Chains A and B, each alone.
Chain A
Amino acid sequence: MKTNDIILQTATKVVLFLIILFSIHIFFAGHYTPGGGFVGGLLTSGAIVLLLLAFDMKTVSKILPVNYIHMIAVGLLFAIGTGAGALLFNVPFLTHAFGHVDLPILGDTSLHTATLFDLGVFLVVVGVTMTIIQTIGEDE
């Protein structure tokens, strides 16, 4: 039976970007308020899952030709690298650094190495969720 999912597909094309924008917002919000790499990652993978539901696996892998297992590894490298950076300065592992920087457009911005760590978490969460969902999806 051919299902008519034109409403879902049209809505997805708009909602997808809203979800991803919101996930980026949540990701950066995690710096001082609730949020962070984990929920941000879950939201992003939620967006990709919506794409999978509306279209099919072939289309999605054409749009996003990403090897999610490599994505996990890249995320882990970010997280470990942030921690191991402390070794270069001879301070305990995972010690973070932060400071205020004057950026051209954004003005006075506080930068924190924890964001890099969180980016690693973000990538791992997206990678793991998508690997699980793809593996289950392939079984059919």
Chain B
Amino acid sequence: MINFLILPILIPLVTGVLLIFAAKRIMLQRWIAGISSVIAIILSALLVQKVRVDGIQTLDVSSWEAPFGITLVSDMMSALLVLTTSIIAFLCLIYSFWSIGEAREKFYYYAAFNFLIVGVNGAFTTGDIFNLFVFFEVMLMASYVLLVLGGKKAQLRESIKYILVNVISSALFVIAVAYLYSVVGTLNMAHISVRISEASQGNPPGIITVIAVLFLIVFGLKGAIFPLYFWMPGSYYAPPAPVLALFGALLTKVGVYSITRTYTLFFYHDTGFTHQLLSFLAIMSIIAGVIGAIAYWDIKKIIIYNIIIAVGAILFGVSAMTTDSLTGSIFYLIHDMIIKAALFLLAGIIIAIAGTSNLHKISGLIKRYPGLGWTFFIAALALAGIPPLSGFVGKLLIIKGGFEAEHYWGAGIVLMSSLLVLFSIMKIFINGFWGTPRAYKGEDKVPVGKMMIAPVILVVIAVFYGAGSEYVYPYILQAAETLANPEIYIEAVLKEY
């Protein structure tokens, strides 16, 4: 079927619309949303297999041929990210059943949830730079709803900040696209790449470098790199756990994906400047994230700062631009999506039990909740990259690629950061789970068993992703090869080129 690659976008879209009609009937909403996201997982898994067998899939929407119309492109990287997104969406969804509360469920929570997935999957799939902007907006609109739903004081305060930052960065995005269009005269990403290559014979024009930096600022704001992450610790702190898990696992990663895509497909001519800048910012993100993660005594804050560290590590791999480091980046990107979702969901359970996220006021949880404790422990080890868990392979490849590209001190900092990540996450484990057990008000009302389903599945996936990396590796390698050799992507989209 020619339209296969659009289905992971179309299914949540239709689901979201249907859920608007069922807003007041909670059980019906849960069934519709649950079944549709299972179907989405199956279809995106089939899509990954199709890309593996038949190569890059493209779809010229509305039958306008590339480069004139909008083209959707599923290469291995985008197919893998769509699959990961579908899995995380399903698990966050079933976690929401027992934790989000009836009031939100009746106020279009599940509809907004599905529209968010439309935006994320669309951004991963599109092959048109302006269409990328459109899907960013779809995703952001839905995230505004999810952030503000519930209307607590902190949520409203952070929503204003979040909307302001994103409106400004969206404006910059349009400006950057307009600049790029005025220089290359096309919006199709493969065609842009061709035109930039033609213009950069020998010496790339300065304007292309300016545009590259502009795009870095735009995507850096969404992806929370140094020094543009300032809005994130506050805004992500406000919403409830499943929304936080979605934001932390998916939204920043869309920014990271966009940087990876543009910096490997468009702006690979003046690497001496652009990729040096990217690697510097990536290293600074790691340092800033580590400082935050160690300094705070708040569960949510610690994990949120760990997002910034991960973003830094992934982008460091991208900036090195070797096949090894790109493989590592993609490996680590998928690992981080899974494990951050797991950690945020686990943190949500801890907070639901203790009624606070302040580590000073939590202790001895492992006595009453051993399952929760050990799941958290495995997730923590996976995050830090202890072999054979999932963080290890990715980080190893990133560091190897860093050494190959002779970024010795950068690779060293990535290596060192693992240790401090382990320290920051163990701080939660040691202070929250060890020590004398306390009695918490209202802890008996928390359905811990049911809430544990989603994070346990995520941790199991993370374990298999690490232990079975030999089976995953060919897929990731295929994705990295497309990134390292833009011709593959261009040929698939423009055919005759």
Chain A interface residues toward B at CB < 8 A: 69-70, 72-73, 76-77, 80, 84, 86-87, 90-96
Q: Which of B58-66, B454-462, B464-472 contacts the other chain?
A: B58-66
Does B416 belong to the interface (CB within 8 Å)? no
Flag if B21 contacts A70 (CB, 8 Å): yes
A-B contact pairs, 27 of them (CB 8 A): A69-B23, A70-B20, A70-B21, A72-B20, A73-B17, A73-B20, A73-B21, A76-B17, A77-B17, A80-B13, A80-B17, A87-B1, A87-B3, A90-B1, A90-B2, A90-B3, A91-B2, A91-B63, A92-B2, A92-B3, A92-B60, A92-B63, A93-B3, A93-B59, A93-B61, A95-B63, A96-B62
Closest to A84 in B: B10
- Expressed in whole angstroms, the minimum distance between the Cβ of B138 and any Cβ of chain A is 12
Q: Complex: how many Å from CA A75 to CA B21? A: 12
Closest to A95 in B: B63
List residues 1-25 of chain B with CB under 8 A from any CB of chain A: 1-3, 6, 10, 13-14, 17-18, 20-21, 23
Q: Complex: how many Å from CA A94 to CA B2? A: 12
Interface contacts beyond A70-B21, A80-B13, A94-B62: sample of 18 additional A-B pairs, CB < 8 Å, sorted by A: A70-B20, A73-B17, A73-B20, A77-B17, A80-B10, A84-B10, A84-B14, A86-B3, A87-B1, A90-B1, A90-B2, A90-B3, A91-B2, A92-B2, A92-B3, A92-B59, A93-B6, A93-B10
5 closest Cβ pairs, A-B complex: A73-B20, A94-B62, A95-B63, A76-B17, A93-B6
Q: Complex: how many Å from CA A28 to CA B10? A: 28
Contacts of A92 in B (CB 8 A): 2-3, 59-63
Contacts of B6 in A (CB 8 A): 93
Q: Complex: how many Å from CA A55 to CA B10? A: 42
Closest to B17 in A: A76
Tell me what chain A mostly uses at the interface: helix, strand, loop, or mixed: helix
Contacts of B18 in A (CB 8 A): 73
Q: Complex: how many Å from CA A77 to CA B20? A: 11
Contacts of A69 in B (CB 8 A): 20, 23
Q: Complex: how many Å from CA A72 to CA B20? A: 9
Q: Complex: how many Å from CA A69 to CA B21? A: 9
Flag if B21 contacts A93 (CB, 8 Å): no
Contacts of A86 in B (CB 8 A): 3
Q: Complex: how many Å from CA A91 to CA B3? A: 7
Tell me what chain B mostly uses at the interface: helix, strand, loop, or mixed: helix
Contacts of A87 in B (CB 8 A): 1, 3
Q: Complex: how many Å from CA A87 to CA B7? A: 10
Q: Complex: how many Å from CA A69 to CA B2? A: 33
Closest to A90 in B: B2
Contacts of B59 in A (CB 8 A): 92-93
Q: Complex: how many Å from CA A128 to CA B233? A: 32
Q: Knowing A80-B10, A87-B3 are in contact, say whether A94-B17 is a contact too (CB < 8 A).
A: no
Contacts of A70 in B (CB 8 A): 20-21
Q: Complex: how many Å from CA A102 to CA B17? A: 35
Contacts of B14 in A (CB 8 A): 80, 84
Closest to B19 in A: A73
Contacts of B60 in A (CB 8 A): 92
- Expressed in whole angstroms, the minimum distance between the Cβ of B64 and any Cβ of chain A is 9
Closest to A91 in B: B63
Contacts of A95 in B (CB 8 A): 62-63
- Expressed in whole angstroms, the minimum distance between the Cβ of A46 and any Cβ of chain B is 24
Q: Complex: how many Å from CA A84 to CA B1? A: 13
Closest to B4 in A: A87
Flag if B62 contacts A93 (CB, 8 Å): yes
Closest to A75 in B: B17
- Expressed in whole angstroms, the minimum distance between the Cβ of A138 and any Cβ of chain B is 15
- Expressed in whole angstroms, the minimum distance between the Cβ of A116 and any Cβ of chain B is 14
- Expressed in whole angstroms, the minimum distance between the Cβ of B250 and any Cβ of chain A is 22
List residues 45-73 of chain B with CB under 8 A from any CB of chain A: 59-63
Q: Complex: how many Å from CA A76 to CA B18? A: 10
Q: Complex: how many Å from CA A139 to CA B60? A: 46
Contacts of A80 in B (CB 8 A): 10, 13-14, 17
Contacts of B3 in A (CB 8 A): 86-87, 90, 92-93
Flag if B61 contacts A94 (CB, 8 Å): yes
Q: Complex: how many Å from CA A87 to CA B14? A: 14
Q: Binary interface profile of B, 105-117, with partner A (CB < 8 Å = 1, else 0)?
A: 0000000000000
Closest to A72 in B: B20
- Expressed in whole angstroms, the minimum distance between the Cβ of A74 and any Cβ of chain B is 9
Q: Complex: how many Å from CA A72 to CA B18? A: 11
- Expressed in whole angstroms, the minimum distance between the Cβ of A133 and any Cβ of chain B is 19
Q: Binary interface profile of B, 328-364, with partner A (CB < 8 Å = 1, else 0)?
A: 0000000000000000000000000000000000000
Contacts of B10 in A (CB 8 A): 80, 84, 93
Contacts of A73 in B (CB 8 A): 17-18, 20-21
Closest to A73 in B: B20
Closest to A77 in B: B17
Q: Binary interface profile of B, 12-42, with partner A (CB < 8 Å = 1, else 0)?
A: 0110011011010000000000000000000
Contacts of B1 in A (CB 8 A): 87, 90
Contacts of B21 in A (CB 8 A): 70, 73
Contacts of A84 in B (CB 8 A): 10, 14
Closest to B9 in A: A93
- Expressed in whole angstroms, the minimum distance between the Cβ of A114 and any Cβ of chain B is 10
Contacts of B63 in A (CB 8 A): 91-92, 95
